[in-house]
Amino acid sequence: MQRKKECVAMLLAGGQGSRLFALTTNVAKPAVAFGAKYRIIDFPLSNCINSGIDTVGVLTQYQPLILNEYIGNGQPWDLDRTYGGVHILSPYQAKTNSSWYEGTANAIYQNLHFMKMYNPEYVLVLSGDHIYKMDYAAMLKAHKDTGADCTIAAINVPLSEASRFGILNVNPDGEIYQFEEKPKAPKSTLASMGIYVFSAKKLFKYLEADDANPNSSKDFGKDVLPAMLNAGEKMYSYRFEGYWKDVGTIASLWEANMDLLGDDPKFDVSDKSWKIHSRNPLAPPEHIGENGVVKNSMIALGCEIDGVVENSILGSNVIVEKGATVKDSVVLANSVIKANANVSYSIIDENVTIGKAAKIGVEKDASAEIVVLGRGLTVDDGVTVSEGQKHEQDIKA
């Protein structure tokens, strides 16, 4: 009997995430750090393994080095399988052509041979831009129960935001009768989450047709899904009620981090029944010093805190010296906040050094804007960085 996998997941991880500014200068968006010890891609990868899907193709294109290094052989997610496991799929050169991934559909199309290797019944298409916990197995079951050719995960969004999404107009039983990509006047608030289950044969057929269509922009939302609907394929929505956050902007990334805080957090990463796996830093427990004050915060291993940390998320090995204050901020791994420096309402990337008595950002209020300091930069002693500034280079006195 030929070996096969019932379901293969294809994770679109090639996006640049240009709205994250300096945070994605050197790393692809799915590799952006989140929640003190995680990277965004930990969530879809953990969802896969927790849902029993152990074959995942990760499609990379933009700045793949850190992402590839992070995924490695997939062992942290238990995805180092003998048959299946995680595979990095980068654009490649073939005998007759070679091309970059041109759109979401084209990226999957170029890896038809990868999916076919596992002879799957179903293909799960995911994106590496969201923070959420979801049981894909339940979605797959719904797909089988309705006998759909394509099932799209959907969530209710506020009407004011609906025009940013692909909106699904559905019958009471969930069957989709209309699909509107980023409509100006949305008819419903049911938004596509960019998570699709396809019956594999149908997917392959429509991808091949899409590739042959010179007028297609090779995008799932704009081309493939409407084509399937127009051809009368059975398409269903799958309602998702839990926490789901697109972290494509600085503000939403900051908010999603803050959603982890509080006694009853909006998003809980400590749920042992749905563990979020990640590549763990090698570091001793964090040390809170004699002068340390840590309130309503999440702190990763290896931190040394002798200053004040409030309403903040600190990645591994961050140092906050005596007299320094970090408030309403996200500080990523290995950064150093020197004595008497003050960081408010900011996102500080990895390996940043903030000099003594420097002042970064302003007190958070409704009109304040978030400061972003890019990877590895140094802020000189005593420098002031005003609200909303985004830097990639060292900031001199």
Partner 1 sequence: MATSAIGVIFSNMHEENVPELVRRRTMASIPYGGRYRIIDFALSNMVNSGITTVGLMTSNNYRSLIDHIGSGKDWDLARKDGGLILLPPFSERHDKLYSTRLEALSSLRGFLYRRNEKYVVLTDCDGVMRLDIADVIATHERKNADITMVTHHGKVGHRADFILLTADETDRVREIKLSPHLAEGQTADIYINMMIINRQFLLNLVEDSVTHGFSSFEGDILIKQIDSLKIYRYDFQGYYAGIDSVAAYYKHNMELLKKTVRDELFGARDIYTKVRDSAPSKYSESAIVKNSLISDGCEIEGVVENSILFRGVKVGKGAIVRNSIIMQDNIIGQNATLDCVITDKNVVISDRKALGGCATLPYYIPKGTRL
Spatial separation of the C-alpha atoms in residues 161 and 344, rounded to whole Å: 28
User: Which span (9-17, 119-127, 287-295, 379-387) binds partner 1, by CB under 8 A?
Assistant: 287-295
Q: Based on the shown chain and the rule CB under 8 A, indicate whether residue 335 belongs to the binding site for partner 1.
A: no
Q: Based on the shown chain and the rule CB under 8 A, indicate whether residue 270 belongs to the binding site for partner 1.
A: yes
The 10 Å CB-count burial string (b at 16+, else e) for 196-225 is bbbbbebbbebbeebbeeeebebbbbbbbb
Place of tokens 């989450």: 193
Q: Based on the shown chain and the rule CB under 8 A, indicate whether residue 266 belongs to the binding site for partner 1.
A: no
| Residues 334 and 349: beta-carbon distance below 8 Å | no
276, 330, 341, 354: which one binds partner 1 (CB under 8 A): 276
Do the strands 150-156 and 342-344 form a parallel or antiparallel pair, or are they unpaired?
unpaired
Q: Based on the shown chain and the rule CB under 8 A, indicate whether residue 81 belongs to the binding site for partner 1.
A: no
Provide the terminal-to-terminal Cα distance of the chain, rounded to the nearest Å: 70
Q: Shortest approach of partner 1 to residue 371 CB, angstroms?
A: 23
Q: Based on the shown chain and the rule CB under 8 A, indicate whether residue 393 belongs to the binding site for partner 1.
A: no
Q: Based on the shown chain and the rule CB under 8 A, indicate whether residue 82 belongs to the binding site for partner 1.
A: no
Of 290 and 365, which CB lies nearer to partner 1 in the complex structure? 290
Q: Shortest approach of partner 1 to residue 325 CB, angstroms?
A: 15
Q: Based on the shown chain and the rule CB under 8 A, indicate whether residue 74 belongs to the binding site for partner 1.
A: no
Q: Shortest approach of partner 1 to residue 203 CB, angstroms?
A: 32
Q: Based on the shown chain and the rule CB under 8 A, indicate whether residue 259 belongs to the binding site for partner 1.
A: no
Residues 32 to 71 in contact with partner 1, rule: CB under 8 A: 35-37
Measured between alpha carbons, how far is residue 28 from residues 36, 89, 128, 362 in Å? 18, 14, 10, 29
Paired tokens of 312: 């903040």
Q: Based on the shown chain and the rule CB under 8 A, indicate whether residue 307 belongs to the binding site for partner 1.
A: no
User: Which span (105-113, 114-122, 243-251, 285-293) binds partner 1, by CB under 8 A?
Assistant: 285-293
Q: What is the Cβ-side half-sphere exposure of residue 222, based on CA atoms within 13 angstroms?
A: 10
Using alpha carbons, select from 165, 293, 298, 279 the residue that is nearest to residue 222: 165
Spatial separation of the C-alpha atoms in residues 119 and 292, rounded to whole Å: 56
List 153's β-bridge partners, or say none: 238
Spatial separation of the C-alpha atoms in residues 193 and 79, rounded to whole Å: 24
Q: Based on the shown chain and the rule CB under 8 A, indicate whether residue 94 belongs to the binding site for partner 1.
A: no
263, 365, 366, 367: which one binds partner 1 (CB under 8 A): 263
218, 277, 327, 359: which one binds partner 1 (CB under 8 A): 277
18, 75, 98, 156: which one binds partner 1 (CB under 8 A): 75
Of 110 and 312, which CB lies nearer to partner 1 in the complex structure? 312
Q: Shortest approach of partner 1 to residue 216 CB, angstroms?
A: 41
Residues in binding contact with partner 1, number by CB under 8 A: 37
Q: Shortest approach of partner 1 to residue 320 CB, angstroms?
A: 13
AA identity, residue 357: A
Measured between alpha carbons, how far is residue 365 from residues 220, 328, 344, 360 in Å? 39, 10, 11, 15
Using alpha carbons, select from 280, 281, 307 the residue that is nearest to residue 294: 307
Measured between alpha carbons, how far is residue 380 from residues 163, 283, 371, 386 in Å? 43, 27, 16, 14
Residues 115 to 174 in contact with partner 1, rule: CB under 8 A: none
Residues in touch with partner 1 (CB under 8 A): 35-37, 75-76, 261, 263, 269-270, 275-278, 280-290, 292-302, 304, 317
